[in-house]
Amino acid sequence: MKHISAVTFDLWDTLIQEYPGNTEKVSTIRVDRIWRVLNDRGMIHSRSEVERAYVKTFDFLQLTWSKTRDIPVKDHILFMLTSIDSNLAGRLAKQDLTLIEKIYSEGILEHPPRLLPGAKEALKSVRSKDYRMGLISNTGRTPGSMLRVVMDKLGILEYFDTTTFSDEALVRKPNVLAFNLTLQRLRAVPKAAVHIGDDLEKDVIGAKKAGMRAIHYDPGDENPSKEADARISSLNRALDKIEDF
């Protein structure tokens, strides 16, 4: 009889990873295009003003994230525009705000992340054993709605019964609410679920606090971990470890 009924995965640096330099390239796309929209609408601001507001927005996000909370991308945009000019958002038409949010959200599609070695095979093998599967991911600038598009293009979205992104759940790992929400959707109890991720605090300690088993994915090491129930250096060992529980 299986002791585990549900398996959840982290996304970034567990299943996918940024190519070096992509973050900067996507930031440039966002700043350039938002600046052009503003100037096309007669809101004359320098590119450096827009860039400073973009950086200031990230500082605000990091403060929010440090409290294991999150906000929707729409609020990223409002904070950024207000940082340029306190009245700017109110002077833009609704369709202009929608366009700016679209630019901000979709930048990743021009410089998408790569699938990590063995990720798809690991998901396929876990799915083949009829485990219920979920994804629990903290987001950065790119919202969960767009990360689902990325996952679909990479051929991994189909393996998940549910996907939990922090900008939608409004909480971030290691907050146990992120894990609890996902388990509720999977109709699984914590003691019958295992989470797999690369981050010791956010994935391993967060999952353990939620009452789950935790597998630490660490490509550089497979020695026993005091915090995790198991550690793997390769994703192709995930199923074996799950079935050991």
Residues 85 and 120 in one domain: no
* Residue found by looking up tokens 């900008």 in the block: 167
Spatial separation of the C-alpha atoms in residues 113 and 20, rounded to whole Å: 10
Q: Given this model, what pLDDT does residue 142 score?
A: 98
99 and 180 share a domain?
no
* Average of per-residue pLDDT across 74-79: 98
Report the alpha-carbon distance of residue 126 to residue 158 in Å, rounded: 13
Q: Are residues 106 and 124 in the same domain?
A: no
**CB half-sphere exposure, 112, CA atoms < 13 A:** 15
Residues of the chain above pLDDT 70, percent:
98
pLDDT for 113-171, tens place per residue? 999 999 999 999 999 999 999 999 999 999 999 999 999 999 999 999 999 999 999 99
Residue 107: predicted pLDDT = 96
Over 90: is that where the pLDDT of 57 sits? yes
Residues 147 and 231 in one domain: yes
- Where residue 2 falls among pLDDT bands split at 50, 70, 90? low
- pLDDT level of residue 1 (50, 70, 90 thresholds): very low
Domain termination residue (choose one: 55, 88, 110): 110
The residues facing 69 across adjacent strands are 171
Residues 164 and 128 in one domain: yes
The Cα 201–Cα 77 span in angstroms is 29
Residues 31 and 50 in one domain: yes
172-225, pLDDT tens digit by residue? 999 999 999 999 999 999 999 999 999 999 999 999 999 999 999 999 766 667
User: Phi, psi at residue 164, to the nearest 5°?
Assistant: -115, 120
pLDDT of residue 143: 98
Query: 29 and 59: one domain?
Result: yes
DSSP conformational letter for 18: P
Q: Which residue has the tokens 């996907």?
A: 163
CA dihedral 60, 63, 68, 69 (to 10 degrees): -30
Domain enclosing residue 94, as ranges: 22-110
Q: How much is the pLDDT for 225?
A: 74
